[in-house]
């Protein structure tokens, strides 16, 4: 059974810092990996989707990488802003979606 782990569980940074969120998974036979954002009490918003044949995806200040062989993905956020404060969830799709517990990010003004 696929296990997805996210480290750290929580992260607090000052505004303007670049930061990296980590996701690891145990079964490398995946279709794709997604990063989601969740604001408190809200649903999930898809940020980036990386197909199994891809190494990375970029959207604005966000860059996600995928290394299937090592079972790892990172989400890089450049020049963080207070509006980036949210929980970031990693999900791995190998016919079923498996979610990590998330990293709760706080960006302080």
Binding site for another protein (CB under 8 A): 4, 9, 31-32, 34, 36, 41-46, 49, 51, 89, 91, 93, 95-102
Is 18 or 46 the residue whose CB approaches another protein more closely?
46
Is 75 or 91 the residue whose CB approaches another protein more closely?
91
CA atoms of 39 and 35, how far apart (whole Å): 14
Bridge partners, 103 (sequence order): 88
SS3 content of the chain, % helix, strand, coil (to 5): 5, 60, 40
Shortest distance, position 74 Cβ to another protein, whole Å: 18
CA atoms of 57 and 55, how far apart (whole Å): 7
Is 84 or 88 the residue whose CB approaches another protein more closely?
88
Shortest distance, position 18 Cβ to another protein, whole Å: 26
Burial class (CB in 10 A: 0-12, 13-18, 19+), 16: exposed
Shortest distance, position 6 Cβ to another protein, whole Å: 8
């Amino acid at each position: 059974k696929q296990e997805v782990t996210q480290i750290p569980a929580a992260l607090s940074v000052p505004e303007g810092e670049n930061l990296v969120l980590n996701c690891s998974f145990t079964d490398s036979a995946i279709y794709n990996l997604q990063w989601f954002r969740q604001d408190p009490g809200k649903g999930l918003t898809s940020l980036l989707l990386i197909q199994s044949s891809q190494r990375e995806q970029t959207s604005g200040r966000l860059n996600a990488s995928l290394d299937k062989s090592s079972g790892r993905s990172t989400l890089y956020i450049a020049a963080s802003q207070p509006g980036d404060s949210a929980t970031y969830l990693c999900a791995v799709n190998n016919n079923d979606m498996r979610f990590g517990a998330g990293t709760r990010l706080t960006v302080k003004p």
